[in-house]
Amino acid sequence: MAVLAECPICHKKQSVRNRNCECGDDLVKAKKLTRVRYWINYRLPGGKQKRESVGFSIEEARDADGKRRVQKRENRIFDIKPEAKMTFKELSEWYLGLEKVKGKAYYPTLTINLNSFLSEFGSVIVGRIKPADLENYQAMRKKEGYSDSYIDHEVGAARTMINKAFDNDLVGGDTLKVFKRVKKLLKRNANARDRILTGEESNKLMAALPLHTRTIIAIAAYTGMRKSEILSLTWDKVDLKQRIIRLEAADTKDREPRKIPISEELYGILKNIPKAIHDNHVILYMGMPVKDIRSALTRACKDAGITYGRFAKGGFVLHDMRHTFNTNMRKAGVAQSVIMKITGHSTSEMFERYNTVDDGDIRQAVARLDHFMKSVDQNVDQVTHQTATNETRD
């Protein structure tokens, strides 16, 4: 057993007696600035080596090392591993109680996904679960009729919890590897949507929607904002004078602040929305913030002759307005970098998922080719004619 020091630059674990790391960092100075993380190194029964992070204090590291030595001598080495006694239910209570986790926009969904997972594994000791257990869970949920995407979200919520627990030394690397080894059921981009709303569909839908839902669709169409961003939008973030919507980091999915320009059409819509005295939300229905619009959207789609539903063939859902916005901006000739700045897409790959090439694009491409080929043929004819004329003269 031994206490090791982690270099803050290259992260190599090494003897605490080293004054300098191989990378050149001054460890003595780093220790004084409490930049060095300490680890204790020991072996579990069976000979497997384990390293455990114990913070930035050499005194605490030595105390932890001494405690492990006593546990090993008294044959209580398994007490070292918190996951050897903690159930998944206990771990989830710790995780869902973290203030940072409670502050996440998807906290309600995370709770639902974890509760579904815990209905099967809640009483199971964390350290005893195996990859086969998770694979059996996936197969069981599929038999129950749940989609690959939904099952992946359930296991993903548990995986996120395990990652957080590992970072806080509540579970070890063996448990972490169990969850990392389980493959997702849904293949990459297999669930990517390409549904956009055409101009004719948009007109029919807007005519069928109630006023407050019509406003939500309009904001989505002219900004590309997500549903959660629209429903939580408050007037202090809407600058009608400068014609800018300013979203703070806490308002966005990727936790990055964003500025969204207000178009002329959207300006007219927002300007005519009456502001409530008792509530600062932009979208209100009967004086209360709107939580969901699926019922109103389902009825309006039926009246407009538009198929509704994520799993229906050609079905439309609110999130498709984000695809529609991206595609319309691209067709309007707006640079990809500018569109990504407005929508908050951090990678070109994610942008492409929301940029749909439709039948109109394909027809336009063929028309351009046709025009190009005709111009080439005309040039060939002109050259041929000119050559024949010259030969006749000669």
Residue 158 has which token pair? 């548990």
In the predicted structure, residue 389 carries a pLDDT above the cut 70: no
Q: Evaluate if pTM is beyond 0.85.
A: no
From 80, 110, 140, the end of a domain falls on 80
Q: Are residues 168 and 142 in the same domain?
A: yes
Q: Are residues 300 and 265 in the same domain?
A: yes
pLDDT for the residue numbered 139: 92
pLDDT tens across 20-64, in order? 999 888 999 988 888 888 888 887 655 667 777 788 888 888 888
Cβ neighbours, 10 Å, residue 297: 22
Q: Are residues 153 and 244 in the same domain?
A: no
Q: Would you say the C-alpha torsion 72, 77, 81, 87 has a positive or negative sign?
A: negative
Does any domain span residue 39? yes
From 32, 54, 80, the end of a domain falls on 80
Does any domain span residue 318? yes
Q: Are residues 209 and 297 in the same domain?
A: yes
Does any domain span residue 324? yes
Does any domain span residue 165? yes
DSSP character at residue 195: -
Does any domain span residue 266? yes
pLDDT for the residue numbered 383: 44
The total domain count for the chain is 4
Lowest mean pLDDT among 79-88, 102-111, 275-284: 79-88
Q: Are residues 331 and 209 in the same domain?
A: yes
Q: Are residues 255 and 277 in the same domain?
A: yes
CB 297 within 8 Å of CB 211:
no
pLDDT for the residue numbered 233: 93
Q: Are residues 46 and 72 in the same domain?
A: yes
Q: Containing H/E element for 104?
A: none
pLDDT confidence of 376, banded at 50, 70, 90? very low
Does any domain span residue 285? yes
**What residues are paired with 50 via a beta bridge?**
42
Q: Containing H/E element for 353?
A: helix 348-354
Residues 38/44/49/51 CA torsion (nearest 10 deg): -20
Report the pLDDT averaged over residues 260-269: 88
Report the pLDDT averaged over residues 153-176: 86
Does any domain span residue 93? yes
Residue scoring higher pLDDT (195 or 368): 195
Kindly give the pairing relationship between strand 49-53 and strand 238-239: unpaired
Does any domain span residue 191? no
Q: Are residues 341 and 216 in the same domain?
A: yes
Q: Are residues 303 and 376 in the same domain?
A: no
Q: Which domain holds residue 42?
A: 2-80
In angstroms and rounded to an integer, the radius of gyration of the C-alpha atoms of the chain is 30
DSSP character at residue 18: -
Report the pLDDT averaged over residues 157-175: 85
Q: Are residues 159 and 295 in the same domain?
A: no
Q: Are residues 103 and 51 in the same domain?
A: no
Look up the CATH number of the domain holding residue 140.
Answer: 1.10.150
pLDDT tens across 186-219, in order? 765 544 567 888 888 888 999 999 888 999 999 9
Q: Are residues 203 and 314 in the same domain?
A: yes
Look up the CATH number of the domain holding residue 265.
Answer: 1.10.443.10
From 80, 101, 122, the end of a domain falls on 80
